Amino acid sequence: MSSITLIFIILAGILALLLALFQYWNTSKRKSKLTWMFVFLRFTTIFSILLLIINPKFEHVEFYKEKPNLLVAVDNSSSVKDLKQDKNTLRLVESLTQNTELNNKFNLEFYSFGDDLNSEDFLVFNKQQTNISNAINQLSQIYKESISPTILITDGNQTYGSDYEFSSELYKQPIYPIILGDTITYTDLKIQQLNVNKYAFLKNSFPIEVFLVYNGNSNVNSQFIVTNGNATLYSQSITFSKNNNSKVINFTLPANSVGVSVYKATLVPLDNEKNIVNNTKNFAVEVIDQKTKVALISDFLHPDLGVIKKSIESNEQRDVTILKSSESLNQINDFQLFILYQPNNKFNQLFDILNKENKNSMVIVGTKTDLNFLNTISSNYDQQITNQTEDYQAERNLNYSPFIIDDIDFESFPPLKSNYGEITFSIPFETILYKKFNNIPTKEPLLVTFENSGRREAVLFGENIWQWRAQSYLNTKSFNGFDNFMGKLVQYLASNKKRNRLNVDSESFYNGSGNIIIKAQFFDKNFEFDARETLTITVKDKISNEEKSFPFILKNNNYQVDLSNLKPSEYTFKVFAKNENISQSGNFQILEYDVEQQFLNADVTKLERLATHSGGASYFINTTNSLVNDLLKDTRFVAIQKSNKNTVPLIDWKYLLFLIALTLAIEWFLRKYNGLI
């Protein structure tokens, strides 16, 4: 309360007293105790009303203690069950939950993780992937402002993601790993890694690279075999010793028939091996009879050229050749798609041939593009020439219909350098990306596609797309998102197939340990995306003839269904539109492979280093009593006294209004009772 407010309160008290005395003392001929009572009541009423007018503010301070958090993150993957540690883990979690001393000192928070972090303690140990790094990163975001030591109950075997030992450097909390497993060394042979291209070409041979690992002390002999059905395609004798405990095998297999071929690589187990699951690995190769050939044409060097080539060729089905405009004139029939990078008047003859041959193409417009020439040569669109450039970011069009566009976070990508000026089209077109200037959508096209006379074309109004691929990697630690986007664009442009109202996006085969997501789009008769349709998929196992049906769910601008629970086998499927007599069929194969079954031991060394780097300590599952005692005695984890200071105005104090009403009522009653009114 300020000093000026205090002065006002004192003056209000004096004024209230003077008014009360003036009303009752001077007008009363006979002074009695009752007169003093009336003076007091009137003083109280007037003073209370004046206090409400002044409305002083009072500070209320409330003290409380905040306990530190104790996070318990439990590995919910199937490898815990394979190591026979699932029951021990459940008993440990229950004992931590019921420990009174821990609950008195900490706020216990339980999480489970496999491929993602979940705020639950429902443990079934059935997750097919483990990403410890992701769990640590998510916890660091949630608890970055509090004291939160973390108990990490895991075997330490991560199947994908960044190295969690280094991810912990950004985690500001001590980590206490509870190691599920033992340090016993078992004799074991395993296929550590098998590298093979996803696609091969008919009548060619495709290379395979295999890494074999032996864990043991004696000399052993085994056989490495690759089979396709009952046929053995490759075989080699392998010898291991304690010092020579790894082998790398390189060989090729023939691609004799079109379609998906499934192979089985086996390292014949030893008699005393404990885990023989990791001795076998299934893989598949899709054999195709031709490549999609793309001509990337430019008369000057630019970083975009290398990135476009690298991105398109990430799919083995496609081959990109960089040519000058003059070099491409005699090779028109060698390519299915032509990408014209910042054309100028040297491209004049090339444009004439492409129009005459009705070839599909994509034009990339940048700061070195001759817009006068482009406006003259193209009858489909025209860009206003202002001789000014601007940086534009991208905004995805959710209603784009020709093919499914995945959200790869275009809004986070750096801006492209583009010519400033209005763009007008003389034919119908579809916008994939809009321009966005200073984070303000403009609805001006940045990337468009259109079809005319059976010919498909695209135009990108911006250069420096190489920065997009780099940003995509920074966002996701992978080039796959951007490369898949470019692949779908090229696939659409290189094909002349008629548009369908129902489009289904699926792979030829899936690994058993990955997510199996099938996407679909449905369009009305005007080829506008229709979110009102109900899509279902019927999946039939070709081996057991078992059929199952699943509904699609609507997500953004496409329908999706998750088939990850299907067992490894060969399947045919049919997607139905409920309200229309439209369907699409296809097939896929799920390969048998469980990455969680590849481990024999806990990764003790890495978990111990994780504990050391984070300021915690590691424990085995049978020494958790020491962990509880250490946590209870650790002086870093103590309750912190905090306070909340609230400023409350007097007008919010309802009792003062009650006091005014009460004093007025008593005064009226006494006057009425004594015949003064």
Select the more confidently predicted residue: 28 or 506: 506
Percentage of the chain modeled with pLDDT above 90: 24
Exposure string for 218-257, b = 16+ CB within 10 A, e = fewer: eebebebbbeeeeeeebeeebebeeeeeebebeeebebee
Among 19-23, 46-50, 59-63, 345-349, where is mean pLDDT lowest?
Answer: 59-63
What pLDDT is attached to residue 458?
92
| Token duo for residue 186 | 């078992």
What pLDDT is attached to residue 174?
92
Side-chain-side CA neighbours of 649 within 13 Å: the count stands at 6
Select the more confidently predicted residue: 655 or 32: 655
Among 249-253, 393-397, 644-648, where is mean pLDDT lowest?
Answer: 644-648
| pLDDT > 70? residue 150 | yes
What pLDDT is attached to residue 469?
93
Q: Read off the pLDDT of residues 201-226 as tens digits, 9 standing for 90 and up.
A: 888 888 999 999 998 888 899 999 99
CB atoms within 10 A of CB 212: 23
How much is the average pLDDT of 477-499? 84
Q: Read off the pLDDT of residues 67-103 as tens digits, 9 standing for 90 and up.
A: 899 999 999 888 888 888 889 899 999 899 899 999 9
What pLDDT is attached to residue 1?
62
What pLDDT is attached to residue 575?
93
Asked if 238 and 247 touch (Cβ cutoff 8 Å), the reply is yes
Side-chain-side CA neighbours of 222 within 13 Å: the count stands at 26
Q: Which helix (H) or strand (E) segment is 441 a member of? A: strand 440-452
d(CA 633, CA 640): 16
Q: Read off the pLDDT of residues 253-270 as tens digits, 9 standing for 90 and up.
A: 998 888 888 899 999 998
What pLDDT is attached to residue 308?
93
| Range 225-229, long-range pairs (CB < 8 A, 24+ positions) | 225/265, 225/266, 225/268, 226/253, 226/263, 226/264, 226/265, 226/266, 227/263, 227/264, 227/266, 228/261, 228/262, 228/263, 228/264
| pLDDT > 70? residue 677 | no
First to last CA, the chain: 41
What pLDDT is attached to residue 153?
93
Lookup result for tokens 């439209």: 582
Q: Which of 585, 591, 586 is nearest to 567 (CA)?
A: 591
How much is the average pLDDT of 319-330? 88
What pLDDT is attached to residue 25?
65
What sign results for the dihedral spanned by CA atoms 89, 90, 93, 96? negative
Distances from the Cα of 302 to the Cαs of 259, 427, 625, in angstroms? 38, 31, 63
Q: Confidence class of residue 32 from pLDDT cuts 50, 70 and 90? A: low
What pLDDT is attached to residue 262?
86
Among 179-193, 373-387, 570-584, where is mean pLDDT lowest?
Answer: 179-193
What pLDDT is attached to residue 234?
93
Select the more confidently predicted residue: 31 or 259: 259
| pLDDT > 70? residue 557 | yes
* Strands of 558-562's sheet in order across: 502-505, 517-522, 558-562, 553-555
Q: Read off the pLDDT of residues 351-367 as tens digits, 9 standing for 90 and up.
A: 999 988 888 999 999 99
What pLDDT is attached to residue 235?
93
Q: Read off the pLDDT of residues 453-477 as tens digits, 9 standing for 90 and up.
A: 778 899 999 999 999 999 999 988 8
What pLDDT is attached to residue 460?
93
| pLDDT > 60? residue 375 | yes
| pLDDT > 60? residue 28 | no
What pLDDT is attached to residue 210?
93
Return the DSSP state at 629.
H
Percentage of the chain modeled with pLDDT above 70: 96
| pLDDT > 60? residue 29 | no
Residue 162 CA to chain centroid, in angstroms?
14
What pLDDT is attached to residue 536?
93
How much is the average pLDDT of 326-348? 89
Residue type at position 230: N
Q: Confidence class of residue 321 from pLDDT cuts 50, 70 and 90? A: very high
What pLDDT is attached to residue 30?
58
What does pTM read for this prediction? Answer: 0.59
Asked if 113 and 157 touch (Cβ cutoff 8 Å), the reply is no
| pLDDT > 90? residue 176 | yes
What pLDDT is attached to residue 170?
80
- Domains identified in the chain and CATH numbers: 3-62+645-673 (no CATH), 68-184+601-638 (3.40.50.410), 188-288 (2.60.40.10), 292-494 (3.40.50.880), 502-595 (2.60.40.1930)
How much is the average pLDDT of 120-144? 85
How much is the average pLDDT of 413-434? 90
d(CA 329, CA 353): 8
